[in-house]
Amino acid sequence: MKTDNAYNNRLLQEIRSFAKPAALMEVCGTHTMAIARAGMRDLLPENIRLLSGPGCPVCVTSQSDIDRVIQLARNPEVTLLTFGDMMRVPGSETSLQECRSRGADVRVVYSPLDALQLARENPQREMVFLGIGFETTAPTVAHTIVEAQRLKVNNFSVLSLHKIVPPALEVIFSDAQMQLDGLICPGHVSLVIGLGPYDELVSKYHKPCVITGFGDEDILEGIYMLMRQIISGQARAEIQYRRVVKPNGNPIAQKLLSRVFQPVTARWRGLGAIPGSGLTIRDSYAHFDACRRFSIPEIEEKTIKGCACGGILTGKISPAQCALFGKTCTPLNPVGPCMVSQEGACAAHYRYAPMKGRE
Amino acid sequence: MCLGVPGKIVSKDNYTATADINGNQVVVSIAMTPDVVPGQYVLIHAGFAMQIIDENEAEETMGWLLELRKLGEAYEN
Amino acid sequence: MKDERVLLAHGSGGLLSHRLVEEIFKQNWSNPYLDDMLDGATIQLPLSRIAVSTDSFVITPVFFPGGDIGKLAVCGTVNDLVACGARPLYLTAAFIIEEGFSIRQLKQIAASMAETARLAGVQLVSGDTKVVEKGSADQVFINTTGIGVLESETPLHPRRIQSGDQIIVTGQVGDHGLAILAQREGLAFSTPAVSDCAALYRINSLTSMFPGQIRCMRDPTRGGLATVLNEIADQAQMGIVVEERRIPVSPVVRGACDMLGMDPLYMANEGKMVIFAGPEQIQDMVRELRQIPETSGAEIIGEVKGNHPGMVLLETELGAKRILSALEGEHVPRIC
């Protein structure tokens, strides 16, 4: 998106004119990254605080789930296909990247359809795609599973760690300790789910929600729209990112989701087990469910000593307040997942630390 | 959490389309956007055209933001 | 033509080895130093400080838009010498070849090295080939070592950098990284991006044209521009501020990076130089650079500051400043 500096400056000026203190949470890692990369925290007035919520699928994947993935990757019959994001995420002992260096067959793909294609080209191998991501990504995986069935690709399966966002927002909104005034809602999740889930949240918790795009201009407009509501004491679900997000979302993607997946309880790092927040593969597609195809034992969740990712993901503390931040936990040697993922709040904070007061 | 980038559809067959992103060409699935036609922009994520982008929609319904944008221009001058 | 392959026997030291060297390397690289076929070359150097640099080249694919591993192996070492402020004179080249590699392609690589060396004015004076079993190497690896003579009395060094010095990048960044990435398995997109692979030998003339003005140069290869700026900030113990809007990046590279979740500032370049120079004649220097085809896209991107030593700051499009860190780990495409 082209940066229109005059307009951005105008927006910043308007935003600065709102004197009321407000804590706004972005629940999308891409927003976390975009805000950090633009140095936006430096430009916003002191009274507006931006919190980074549980918006990176890598970050919210529980360590025990990562351990299970690694166990599967070690199976010599299996080729594990994954988005690049997951390669460096540490489980309790090792990462996929390390696994690969010790001989596991782990490959990075850009699209789940590329994974299906690789499965067709290697019919003698068990090709397992690691399904990670929220409502934006899950329909692409659902479609791929439907295709695998249509094309009878019998050596393809998916380990689904997919999660959906609204139940996690519900947990955050209902937390009495959370001092939250408004939500910068994820643009690309919302292009699938639409405005409906936010309308429900607003009617229950009376906090403004604005579905926001990812350009500098989009984010500033989103913040401006939230502040307008906060100042006037209103709470509505609105769409800033109208060129992409329709009020009813994408019904085809929604249908694909419910056709292939069913909601289950999922473990989120930092938030714990949330009912109905995970997506597991339905019985009608059982053949493509890696969990049923391979025996992958449940692994007990171990907590990482000193790691405050849980508090960071819920916006209760900022990355710099974690005792490990920048000391034993750095992007090169990440301890917690918020440091591993480029989108993680800690990695973004570390890489793009604002310069206020440092110069 | 979900990277998406706009691309312009340059050609289309039954299940896939070729999208142009600043001169880069990528083949995307149009399973989520079967009605897309060449010339339209789509939002691409993980090799899928997830939604048709509608710039007009943004302009029509955001009257008060448009006002602000005009003010932005004035601010520059 | 028969598609001949490199055999293990080509590395045995016997007749086949001899033929390989004769037909591929001597034929392409013929010069008085090589033609004698001695164990080493005897070379003449002016009475001056010399610069030596060595680098090994591994790249998949071996042939890519804008170049091949041979061109890369010459340009890479030539550019390292240029970055030292030296005029490159001689190169040695050592090959490690995987059994089964195409003889035809090996010839192409040798020819491309000869052509690049000729253009850059360097002589390939010594070479070696080894053949390893299939699977022990990926097609072909090349090491080149270069020798050059320094053009000025004072060697270029980060410790010569002073507060107020200007930073030039000689053209748009990220093209090589993208051109290679697009060739990789598992990424189904095509890009018009072409590797910028080029020997920057012509930059040498600037050293004598602007005596004392150039403090330090470095070519932003692996790790990209951001990583090189961090290395120099650290070595010089100076602060660096660069402006996002002044860093040249083509729309093609920007678009592909947006799609893949990557950052042009961390993408590799093989024909660019980052130049730290005094402010007095900086505009003239940029003008001169723009006359040279390989550096025609030169821009001033930032400046050196005395405060925040070791730290690189980026002034964003929005006008905020943030840390621009070095690359950590591998720069891989991502989706989230």
Q: Cα A82 from chain centroid?
A: 16
Distance from CA of A165 to the nearest CA of B (A): 11
pTM: 0.90
Q: Tokens 């629940």 label which residue?
A: A27
A338 pLDDT higher than 90: no
**Hey, is A29 helix, strand or coil?**
helix
- Cβ of residue C254 closer than 8 Å to a chain B Cβ: yes
Q: What's residue A190's pLDDT? A: 97
DSSP code of A315? T
Q: Contact A39/C261, CB-based, under 8 Å?
A: no
Quote the CA–CA distance of C87 and C51 in Å, as a whole number. 9
Average pLDDT over residues A324-328: 90
Residues in C closer than 8 angstroms to B27, CB to CB, are 188-189
Distance from CA of A109 to the nearest CA of C (A): 5
> Using an 8 Å Cβ cutoff, are C148 and C91 in contact?
no
Quote the CA–CA distance of C55 and C78 in Å, as a whole number. 10
pLDDT band of residue A196 (cuts 50, 70, 90) is: very high
CATH topology of domain B5-76: SH3 type barrels. (2.30.30)
**Hey, is A194 helix, strand or coil?**
coil
First to last CA, chain C: 49
DSSP code of A275? E
- Cα separations (Å) of C248 from A79, C216, C253? 40, 20, 10
Q: What's residue A155's pLDDT? A: 97
Chain A residue with minimal CA distance to B70? A7
User: How does pLDDT run across C274-300, given as a tens digit for each residue?
Assistant: 999 999 999 999 999 999 999 999 999
Is this complex scored with an ipTM above 0.85? yes
The partner residues of C128 in beta bridges, in order of sequence, read C94
Q: Contact C192/B24, CB-based, under 8 Å?
A: yes
Residues in C closer than 8 angstroms to A114, CB to CB, are 186-188
pLDDT band of residue B66 (cuts 50, 70, 90) is: low
The answer to whether A9-47+166-239 and A58-164+250-293 have equal CATH topology is yes
Q: Contact A111/B46, CB-based, under 8 Å?
A: yes
H/E stretch holding A270 reads none
> Using an 8 Å Cβ cutoff, are A227 and A247 in contact?
no
Secondary structure tally for chain B: helices H, strands E: 2, 5
Distance from CA of C46 to the nearest CA of B (A): 49
Chain A residue with minimal CA distance to B47? A111
Tokens linked to C183? 């060739």
The domain segmentation of chain A, as residue ranges, is 9-47+166-239, 58-164+250-293, 309-350
Helix runs in C261-334, H state only: 282-291
Nearest to B24 among C255, C261, C335 (CB): C255
Phi, psi of C150 (to 5 degrees): -70, 140
Domains annotated for chain C, with CATH where assigned, are 8-150 (3.30.1330.10), 158-323 (3.90.650.10)
CATH topology of domain A58-164+250-293: Rossmann fold (3.40.50)
Chain A residue with minimal CA distance to B74? A6
Q: What's residue A52's pLDDT? A: 86
Query: Which amino acid makes up residue A317?
Result: I
Q: What's residue A359's pLDDT? A: 36
Q: Contact C192/B23, CB-based, under 8 Å?
A: yes
Tokens linked to A305? 């000593």
> Using an 8 Å Cβ cutoff, are C70 and C107 in contact?
no
How deeply is B23 buried, as exposed, middle or buried, from its count of CB atoms within 10 A (0-12, 13-18, 19+)? middle
A113 pLDDT higher than 50: yes
DSSP code of A208? -
pLDDT band of residue B73 (cuts 50, 70, 90) is: low
pLDDT band of residue C153 (cuts 50, 70, 90) is: confident
Q: Which of C246, C262, C327, C336 to mutate to test the interface with A (most CBs of A within 10 A)?
A: C336
Average pLDDT over residues C172-197: 90
Distance from CA of C95 to the nearest CA of A (A): 25
Query: Which amino acid makes up residue A42?
Result: D
> Using an 8 Å Cβ cutoff, are A208 and A182 in contact?
yes
Quote the CA–CA distance of C93 and A296 in Å, as a whole number. 51
Q: Contact B45/A245, CB-based, under 8 Å?
A: no
CATH number of A9-47+166-239: 3.40.50.11750
Q: What's residue C2's pLDDT? A: 66
- Cβ of residue B3 closer than 8 Å to a chain C Cβ: yes
User: How does pLDDT run across A12-64, given as a tens digit for each residue?
Assistant: 999 999 989 999 999 888 998 899 889 998 899 999 999 888 888 888 888 88
Scanning B11-50 for CB atoms below 8 A from C yields 21-27, 44-47
> Using an 8 Å Cβ cutoff, are B39 and B17 in contact?
no
Q: Contact C307/A133, CB-based, under 8 Å?
A: no
User: How does pLDDT run across B10-52, given as a tens digit for each residue?
Assistant: 999 989 999 999 999 999 999 999 999 999 999 999 999 999 9
> Using an 8 Å Cβ cutoff, are B51 and B32 in contact?
yes
Neighbours of chain C (3+ CB pairs under 8 A): A, B
- Cβ of residue C186 closer than 8 Å to a chain B Cβ: no
Beta-carbon neighbour count of residue C1 at 10 Å? 5
Q: Contact C336/A83, CB-based, under 8 Å?
A: yes
Average pLDDT over residues A182-190: 96
